[in-house]
Amino acid sequence: MQSRAGHARGWNLERWLRSPARRWTLALGLLALAALATTTQISEFGRFGRRGPGSERIEPDWSDIFVDQLAYWLAWGVVGFLAFALARWTLARLRSWLLFALVQIPLSLAVAAGFTALYVQQVSRTFDRPSRRPRTFIDSFERLGPWRMPREFVIYWVLLGVGGAVHTFLTGREQERRASGLQLRAVKLEGDLARAQVESLRSQLHPHFLFNALHTVGGLVREGADDAALSTLSSIGDLLRMTLDQGESQLVPLREELRIAGRYLEIERIRFGDRLTVEWTIEEGNDDFLVPALVLLPLVENAVRHAVEPRPQPSVVRVSCRREGARLWLEVQDDGPGFSDAALDLVRGGGNSGERRHIGLWNTRERLSALYGDAHELRLENAPGGGARVSVRLPPRAPELGGDDDG
């Protein structure tokens, strides 16, 4: 079975037609076969259909006829290629079948007349007999043209049709592959989003986080700070609701991502008190910019977990957003110990889902690659003044969702 599959792949028509070298080889082979067929026909016609003086048979030289016919069919190959290129250009630029017909019909008649003249010249040279006064070219054209020219006209449109069929076949297969790829990509993105939501709840709202948050609420209640305790509970509820309300949306407005990150940092500020300072630098006018759902929350959570939580001294987390042309930059920076080599490997392709300490960053890298391909940029770096910095550059639309990057 494997050998049969390999044989089928070896004779794959699409692979032949997509290879320029093989396509030209196939075309030249067909033209040579056509020349051989017409040479045989003309040769037989000369041997059995024409007689010279004294009833002797005229036997034209076969090789001379083949050279003439090969030149004839190669000329048709060149003309057919140019005619098809003109037809494609006409339809692509003018987008009108009427204009296409107005161009192609007169052109096909002119080409048919030209090839009829070529045929008359070849036949006259092959079958003229020395014992008879040669016919003039005009006489020969008037005698042979009425039945030959329709044949040349048909050949023109057959070649045009063959070119159109090959182009339609290749275009259709490419569109089928593209549609299949987009469908698979959409399925993968749905799975990625679901996984991101689950990982977000597990990494940001897992039992350890809920325990700390509820412990903070309990401490506030014991201290009599009922308003602060209620505010913390409200922030926890809002964070859960906003995360779940995003549903299956792949892209959401930036303002929603900022609200989720803000709620999360409010809870952490109550928990860590003076140990956590948050600085926001948000450029105005970008609220409606579409960003991947849950793209910012893993970045701020990573900063809190690795820069604030392990250290007793005060820490600063900076969140910034700015436009650069049509693109958007999101940046989260802290003043902690910075990234380890394992974390930096995430953007070099060396990290994987087994790196549990940075699962949020790994998921972010994978989702951005699925959504934007090479149109985005994710930077993990240690800032010159100390601390870790994560920067995400996003195009205005996600190409894999059918948008186009006009930035």
Following DSSP, what letter does each residue of 88-119 receive, concatenated?
HHHHHHH--HHHHHHHHHHHHHHHHHHHHHHH
Distances (CA, A) of 14 to 160, 169, 186: 19, 8, 27
Residue 2: predicted pLDDT:
43
Residue 58 gets which letter from DSSP? Answer: P
Mean pLDDT of 140-169: 76
Among 190, 218, 212, CA closest to 301: 212
pLDDT of amino acid 200: 55
Name the phi and psi angles at 329, rounded to 5. Answer: -110, 125
Q: What is the mean pLDDT of residues 67-94?
A: 79
Question: Which has more pLDDT, 368 or 255?
Answer: 255
Nearest to 14, CA basis, from 174, 149, 219, 182:
174
When the pLDDT of each residue in the chain is averaged and rounded to a whole number, the result is: 76
Domains in the chain: boundaries: 9-181, 246-401
**Domain spanning 246-401: which superfamily?**
Histidine kinase-like ATPase, C-terminal domain (3.30.565.10)
pLDDT score of 319: 97
Residue 312: CB atoms within 10 A of its CB come to 6
Q: Is the dihedral of CA 110, 112, 115, 117 positive or negative?
A: negative
The CA distance from 124 to 116, in Å, is 12
Res 9 pLDDT > 60: no
Model confidence at 308, pLDDT cuts 50, 70, 90, reads very high
Please answer whether residues 60 and 127 qualify as being in contact, where contact means their C-beta atoms are separated by less than 8 angstroms. yes
Contact in structure between 243 and 390 (CB atoms under 8 Å): no
Using DSSP bridges, classify how beta strands 327-334 and 290-292 pair: parallel, antiparallel or unpaired. Answer: unpaired
Average pLDDT over residues 325-354: 80
Q: Is the pLDDT of residue 406 over 60?
A: no
Buried b (16+ CB within 10 A) or exposed e, 331-340: bbbbbbebbe
Cβ contact 246:259 at 8 Å: no
Yes or no: say if 327 and 398 are a contact pair by the CB < 8 Å rule: no
> CA gyration radius for the chain?
38
Global pTM exceeds 0.85:
no
What whole-number percentage of the chain has pLDDT above 90?
18
Q: Give the pLDDT band of residue 316 (cuts 50, 70, 90).
A: very high
For the chain, the maximum distance between any two Cα atoms, rounded to a whole number of angstroms, is 133
Dihedrals phi, psi of 292, to nearest 5 degrees: -60, 140
Structure confidence by residue, pLDDT tens digits, 185-213: 777 777 677 566 555 544 544 455 667 67
Checking if the pLDDT of 52 tops 60, the result is: no
Q: How are the residues of the chain apportioned to helix, strand and coil, as percentages rounded to the nearest 5?
A: 70, 10, 20
